[in-house]
Structure formats: C-alpha cells, structure tokens
Amino acid sequence: MAILRALGRGDPSVALVTAMTLFTHAMQAHGQTWPQRIYEDVLEESATRPVLINALRVEPELGTPARGGLPATVARWDSGTWWLSGRKIFSTEAVGLRWMAVWARTDEDPARVGSFLVRTDSPGISIERT
C-alpha cells in the first residue's frame, strides 16, 4: 500500500491503474480467471517491461454496469477465437495499457457475460484521447 500511496501523491491515475493491474494479478492468483497460456505471456512480458492491465466496462448506451443490464459489446466465436465488436467510453490510462479486460456478452443463446482479454496492439483497436 505504501507504494500505491507514493504513486498517488505523484500521479493519481498512475496509482489507480497500478492498483487495477495488481488487483488483476491477485484475482488470477486466487481463482485463475485467465487461461494459463495467456497469463504466462503476461508474466513473461512483465519481466522486461511494464505490462499494465485495466478493465473496460463503461459503454455509451449502458453507462456503468453497476446499474445492471447486458453490455452492447458482443463476442462471437469464429475460427477458434473470440471476435469482439463494440465501443467502450472510459478506462483509466487506456493509452498506457498493454492488456484490456473488455466486458462483453456472447452472441450465444443464452448469452454469457464476462471479460475478454485483449492486447492493446490487436488489429481493430483504437483509443480516442479525452
């Protein structure tokens, strides 16, 4: 916590995204929410450079998911991988992230809802600075 407080004194948004990254690692250690292969990639890259992770959940139509409802962002399974389409409107330090945990629903019936891990250098990703 002392590290996060020191970061927060210098730059609150850096402290926040660092905390989000640490929480993501803690969740993985507790319940292995990511596929092990992907998490190993994250850890390997983290050994050589900062690898920031944050959630993207807020959408133009829905707002914050705390109010309930299904996300408009849709995940479709095709050719052995998930393809996402949608738009998020906020994530702290989006321009500095390496991974995004994108909240979406599947196109299945019934739909499943969860976070899909997307590298920020994936094709089709664009980030609009605000």
Q: Crossing angle for the helix pair 12-31 and 2-10, nearest 10 degrees?
A: 150
What is the DSSP code string of 60-87?
TTTB-GGG----S-EEEEETTEEEEE--
**Of the ranges 60-74, 85-99, 107-121, the best mean pLDDT one:** 107-121
Could you identify the residue written with the tokens 């948004």? 13
Strand 99-106 and strand 53-56: the pairing is: parallel
Does some domain include residue 128?
no
CATH of the domain at 44: 2.40.110
83 pLDDT band, cuts 50/70/90, is very high
103 pLDDT band, cuts 50/70/90, is very high
Does some domain include residue 129?
no
Does some domain include residue 45?
yes
Question: What is the pTM assigned to this prediction?
Answer: 0.84
Does some domain include residue 126?
no
